Structures are given as C-alpha cells and as structure tokens.
C-alpha cells in the first residue's frame, strides 16, 4: 500500500493511502472525539462531533470518513472546530433525558464525557423534547429512547455483526427515533438477545434487565441456599470494571468477591462446560458412526439457537440437543447437588454470572427444567456483578486469591476455553479424538480452530476418517455457513457457532468500553489470550479427565448420552416466525 504525507496540527506523519483523518490523527498521537463512529461497523459521519478543518476546504469535514491525500494539512483543535463540536453536543443535550446521577451509564457515558471535555452547558438550548417510550418487552433488554442520541451504532451492529436487523431509524426530523418496523415491541421481533447493541451504545439508551434485586432477596432469605457460578469468560472481563487492563484474569479475586457477597456455594460454569463436552462429544460420535444428521452444530450460545429457530427453522435437526453449559450446570444443581444436600430443589437458588444477555432469555425456555422447576433462577451480567460488588463496598483489587468450591467448581482447561471462539470445538476435539482413536492426540492444542477470525475451517484424521470442522462467530458469519448447510453444500461434519464476534469474551453482557477503546484495542483478542494462557498452565486440560465429572456420572447420570443424562442435560427447539 502506498504511503502519503500529511500534516495533523503541523505534525508531519506518513499513513497508508486511503486512511481517514481520524486514523492519521491517531498516528500523530491525537485523539479526535467521536460519537457515532465504530471502526469497520458504523462509519457514516452523522454525529458531526469529529469535524476538523482541512486547509483549502470550504467547510468542516467529518474526520471519521474523510480520506487523506498527499500534502493535506488538517487542524483538529481550532476555535472554529471546538465551537462546532460544542454546539453539536449542546443540541444533543437539549433533547436528552439528563438523569445522569441515576443512569446505569453514569461515569461510563460517552455523551457525558464529551460534555465535560468540551465544556458544554446542559441547558444551552432548553425547549421541547421528543416524546420517548420505554420498550421493556423482552426479559433481557430495555430501550429508553429519551437517552438516545441517534448515533445508529446499535442499528449497525445489529445488521453488520449479526445480520438480524430488527431495529432502525423510524420517523423523520424531530420525530426520528430508533425502533422496530411498524413500531412493534422488540419482544415481538426476531431479536435474538445477543446484547451487542448494548455494548455498542454510547449512552444509557440500552441496558440489560437487571436481576440484582431478586438475587439479593434470595441471599437474605434464611430458607434458601444460594449457589452462584460464573461463565468461563467472566474472569477475563470483570477486572475491567475496576480499572484493570483489558484481558486481566481475576478468577481468584472473583471467587473471593462472590463469597463476600454472601453466596453459600461458589462454583464455576466451567464444570458445566466440561459436562457439555461429555454429552456433545458422545452425541457427535454417535451421529458420525451411525448415520445421524450432519453436520452437527453446537448449541451453547442461546442467541445463536434463537437465530437458527427464527431464520433456519428447517435446519434445527442439525443442532446438538445438549443444553448449554449454564443450563447443564443449573440442571445438575437442582437434581444431583440437591440430592447430595438432601434438600428440596425449590429451596436451592441457582445464580449464574454471564457475559451474555441472551442467557436471561434462555433460562425461560421450555425444556429447561430437569427437576420440574427452572434449571436457572437468575442470570446476571458481568456488569451486574460489578455493580453488586461496588454496592457491597468490596475493595476488589485488594481481595485475596481464592478457589472455587467442590464438586461443581472443579474444571479442566477444556471447559475454560469455551469462552473464546473455537474453544468449544477444541475442547470437543480433545475428548472426541481420544474416544474415537483410543489414544492421545499428537498435540492437545488444536490451534487451527483458534483465533478471532469470523470463520475458521480445519480437517482432522480420526482413526482413518477425515472429519471436517468449521468455527464461526458473529451471526452474519453464521448466516453464511447456514446458507451452505441449507443448500447441502457445507463440507463439514461438526460446526461451532457463537453469536458474538470473537465468542463470549466479546459478549453483550461484558464491560462496556468506549468507542475509542474499541477502535484502538483488540479487546476480544486480549481477553481470549488470557483464557488460553490459563488453559496452558493447567494440569487438567481434558473434560473427560475431570474427576468431578467422573464422579457425577458414577453417582447419578450413569453414562454419557444415557437415559438419565438425556432427561437432565438435553433439550429441544422450536420453529419461530421470522418476523
């Protein structure tokens, strides 16, 4: 790629031809403020917060979309630029619900930060405000358009990342607002609950349905025993809520914090991930050797499952019948663990910490009630857990490193890597290879399925049979693969699909990072690296070698795929309308 020479505030820099002003400024060590811009996703120059002066241009230009050329001179901080940005933000504030003190995004709001940096008056343009309704029609997400700045970042990720496209700009002029077609409630659409719109939103216009109040009430109820477990990727996201670098692994401190919050048992959903491999691996081997429906597709991601039900209802036989690790964990708690405690499962409250808002929907699904009651009582996000920790006055960074409780807190590295795209596939291969071939694989690290690319493919030899696998993350990539499956041209035997780009490390329930951090940091890559680093350091790295899993089968489930296991750990799916 050819290089061009430009000046940013009289600082000479060389950048690739075709770069935008905002990219050139970053090379010069200058941050240009933005509101609507998300690199590679939402590059529309709509908010006008990033405007700059270009020598020779007749008007201010949007730095996020304006390309540089040889000899260009750009000025990012002139008085004219500052006054324009300030006026833009003050106009946004004039139509904004400014209940900042009680907003879920207080101190983590990009509009709030811009207002402070630009010295804006919150009442410069007081007047009539748009009417805004709150959409609380789903069990996982709330939209409050009184806080929306019409940046369209949520619209872009819903369409570009996920190919779901159930939201867009409705109305015109002053009445413009984000909503669904024909003003339908979100709960009546094909929304899959992934939460990518929440983590993309710069303000408090979108947030999860909080379950903190119910969890707290259960902890304070002396008649209840409250169990909590965190998903694999939570340990590499939670620290960011307390100012730690992206990718910090806070597993030990998290366990300590959960005990200080008053939970009776501190377990790990990684145990459920190991259990998933036992059932899913067995199911795959059965399909492979007995002419079952192939390719088999993983069912760990509830947003992906719902996406399939809406968009590919004729392909549901390809889905593994296994419950997700969250639901398997809850099912084992309400059956096996309740029996060990000799208690009524109704008095056992199971809480999970998830990187995913769709888990709030998943726990409400049919056939997720092994003990006759819901497998999971509460599913909170990483953000909700951080809020609970702060409210309890726990000094997170000063906590000691503690371990999870046995037996449902024992896990392998295979269960841990579920948090990254490709992790489920690799974990399955570690077990399936040994079960089929009868010996250890040449390497326990199946690196071909690692990495944050949207689609990865590989082929392995299992006792003379070539097994072709595919890994996809992000539902736009899932749609490409499923179009092949529907057409009968997919050359795969086993497919892993995660709804969020990069997998659960980049889930919609993870800490919300500003657009500047998202645009300049490989968030999902750093979080995934932390997971793989921990896996590499562990002695126990295969699900089928987990002693607690072996004990569970010996004492309760019988054999993988058996009648008891199928009743407790498997589920079914339903065809849903596309609209």
**Average pLDDT for residues 85-107, to the nearest whole number?**
96
CA dist 448 and 426 (Å) reads: 9
pLDDT band at 23; cut points 50, 70, 90: very high
Alpha helices in 36-194 (DSSP H): 79-94, 110-118, 153-156
- The predicted-structure confidence for 325-375, as pLDDT tens digits, reads as follows 999 999 999 999 999 999 999 999 999 999 999 999 999 999 999 999 999
How much of the chain exceeds pLDDT 70, in percent? 100
Residue 325 lies in a domain: yes
CATH assignment of the domain containing 394: 3.40.50.1780
Domain hosting 478: range is: 220-569
In this structure, what token pair is assigned to residue 335? 């059956």
Residues facing 266 on adjacent strands: 228
Tell me the pLDDT of the chain averaged across its residues: 97
Residue 424 lies in a domain: yes
- The predicted-structure confidence for 168-193, as pLDDT tens digits, reads as follows 999 999 999 999 999 999 999 999 99
Same domain, 61 and 152: no
pTM for the whole structure: 0.97
Please give the sequence-ordered ranges of beta strands (E in DSSP) within 171-305, or none if there are none: 177-179, 206-208, 225-230, 265-268, 296-297
Number of domains the chain is built from: 3
Same domain, 267 and 157: no
Same domain, 184 and 115: yes
Asked whether the predicted pLDDT for residue 522 surpasses 90, the reply is yes
Residue 578 lies in a domain: no
- The predicted-structure confidence for 264-294, as pLDDT tens digits, reads as follows 999 999 999 999 999 999 999 999 999 999 9
| Residue 577 pLDDT | 85
Asked whether the predicted pLDDT for residue 406 surpasses 80, the reply is yes
Same domain, 329 and 433: yes
Asked whether the predicted pLDDT for residue 579 surpasses 90, the reply is no
Same domain, 131 and 248: no
CATH assignment of the domain containing 116: 3.30.70.20
Asked if residues 143 and 137 have their Cβ atoms less than 8 Å apart, the reply is no
| Residue 568 pLDDT | 98
pLDDT band at 322; cut points 50, 70, 90: very high
**Strands of the 455-462 sheet, one edge to the other:** 296-297, 494-498, 465-473, 455-462
Residue 183 lies in a domain: yes
Same domain, 259 and 113: no
Angle between helices 79-94 and 110-118 (to 10 degrees): 130
| Residue 97 pLDDT | 95
Q: Of 21, 46, 77, which residue sits at a domain end?
A: 77
DSSP state letters, 483-536: HHHHHT----SEEEEESSTTSGGG-TTSPP--HHHHHHS-HHHHHHHHHHHHHH
Same domain, 367 and 478: yes
- The predicted-structure confidence for 146-169, as pLDDT tens digits, reads as follows 999 999 999 999 999 999 999 999
Asked if residues 211 and 378 have their Cβ atoms less than 8 Å apart, the reply is yes
Q: Of 152, 186, 208, which residue sits at a domain end?
A: 208
Same domain, 468 and 564: yes
Same domain, 197 and 256: no
Residue 86 lies in a domain: no
Same domain, 391 and 434: yes
Residue 97 lies in a domain: yes
**Average pLDDT for residues 463-471, to the nearest whole number?**
95
Same domain, 430 and 513: yes
Same domain, 366 and 393: yes
Q: Which of 122-131, 211-220, 413-422 has the lowest mean pLDDT?
A: 122-131
Question: Coil, strand, or helix at residue 312?
Answer: coil
Virtual torsion, Cα 364, 319, 508, 396, nearest 10 deg = 80
CA dist 182 and 185 (Å) reads: 9
| Residue 575 pLDDT | 97
Residue 457 lies in a domain: yes
CATH assignment of the domain containing 55: 3.10.20.740
**Average pLDDT for residues 204-211, to the nearest whole number?**
98
Q: Of 77, 109, 125, which residue sits at a domain end?
A: 77
Asked whether the predicted pLDDT for residue 578 surpasses 90, the reply is no
| Residue 1 pLDDT | 76
**Average pLDDT for residues 115-125, to the nearest whole number?**
94
Residue 179 lies in a domain: yes
**Average pLDDT for residues 405-413, to the nearest whole number?**
98
**Average pLDDT for residues 527-534, to the nearest whole number?**
98
């Amino acid at each position: 790629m050819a290089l061009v020479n430009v000046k940013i505030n009289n600082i000479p820099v060389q950048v690739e031809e075709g770069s935008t002003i905002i990219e050139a400024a970053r090379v010069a060590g200058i941050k240009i403020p933005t509101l609507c811009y998300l690199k590679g996703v939402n590059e529309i120059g709509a908010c006008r917060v990033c405007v700059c002066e270009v020598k020779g241009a007749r008007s201010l230009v949007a730095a996020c979309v304006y390309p540089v050329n040889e000899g260009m001179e750009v000025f990012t901080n002139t008085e004219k630029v500052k006054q324009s940005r300030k006026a833009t933000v003050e106009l946004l504030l004039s139509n904004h619900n400014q209940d900042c003190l009680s907003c879920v995004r207080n101190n983590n709001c990009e509009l709030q930060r811009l207002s402070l940096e630009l010295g804006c008056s919150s009442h410069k343009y007081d007047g009539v405000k748009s009417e805004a309704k709150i959409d609380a029609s789903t069990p996982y997400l709330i939209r409050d358009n009184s806080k929306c700045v019409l940046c369209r970042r949520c619209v872009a990720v819903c369409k570009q990342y996920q190919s779901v496209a159930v939201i867009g700009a409705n109305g015109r002029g002053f009445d413009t607002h984000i909503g669904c077609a024909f003003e339908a409630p979100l709960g009546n659409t094909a929304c899959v609950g992934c939460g990518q719109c929440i983590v993309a939103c710069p303000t408090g216009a979108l947030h999860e349905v909080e379950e903190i109040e119910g969890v707290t009430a259960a902890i304070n109820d002396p008649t209840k025993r409250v169990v909590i477990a965190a998903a694999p990727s939570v340990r590499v996201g939670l620290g960011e809520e307390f100012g730690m670098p992206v990718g910090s692994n806070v597993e030990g401190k998290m366990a300590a914090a959960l005990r200080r919050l008053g939970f009776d048992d501190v377990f790990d959903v990684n145990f459920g991930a190991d259990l998933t491999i036992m059932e899913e691996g067995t199911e795959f081997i059965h399909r492979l050797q007995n002419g079952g429906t192939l390719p088999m597709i993983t069912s760990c991601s509830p947003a992906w499952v719902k996406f399939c039900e809406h968009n590919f209802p004729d392909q549901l036989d390809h889905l593994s019948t296994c419950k997700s690790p969250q639901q398997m964990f809850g099912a084992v708690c309400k059956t096996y663990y309740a029996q060990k405690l000799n208690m009524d499962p109704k008095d056992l409250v199971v809480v999970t910490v998830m990187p995913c808002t769709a888990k709030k929907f998943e726990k409400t699904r049919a056939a997720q009630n092994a003990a006759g009651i819901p497998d999971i009582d509460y599913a909170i996000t990483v953000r909700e857990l951080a809020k609970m920790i702060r409210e309890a006055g726990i000094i997170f960074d000063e906590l000691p490193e503690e371990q999870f409780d046995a037996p449902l807190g024992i896990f392998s590295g295979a269960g841990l890597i579920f948090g990254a795209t490709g992790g489920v596939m690799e974990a399955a291969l570690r077990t399936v290879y040994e079960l089929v071939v009868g010996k250890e694989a040449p390497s326990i690290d199946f690196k071909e399925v690692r990495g944050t690319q949207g689609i990865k493919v590989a082929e392995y030899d299992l006792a003379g049979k070539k097994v072709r696998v595919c890994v996809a993350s992000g539902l736009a990539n899932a749609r490409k693969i499923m179009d092949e499956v529907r057409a009968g041209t997919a050359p795969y035997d086993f497919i892993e699909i995660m709804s969020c780009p990069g997998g659960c490390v980049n889930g919609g329930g993870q800490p919300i990072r500003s657009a500047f951090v998202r645009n300049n940091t490989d968030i999902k890559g750093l979080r995934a690296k932390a997971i793989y680093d921990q896996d590499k350091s562990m002695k126990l790295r295969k699900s089928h070698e987990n002693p607690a899993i072996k004990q569970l089968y010996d004492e309760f489930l019988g054999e993988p795929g058996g009648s008891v296991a199928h009743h407790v750990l498997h589920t079914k799916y339903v065809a849903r309308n596309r609209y």
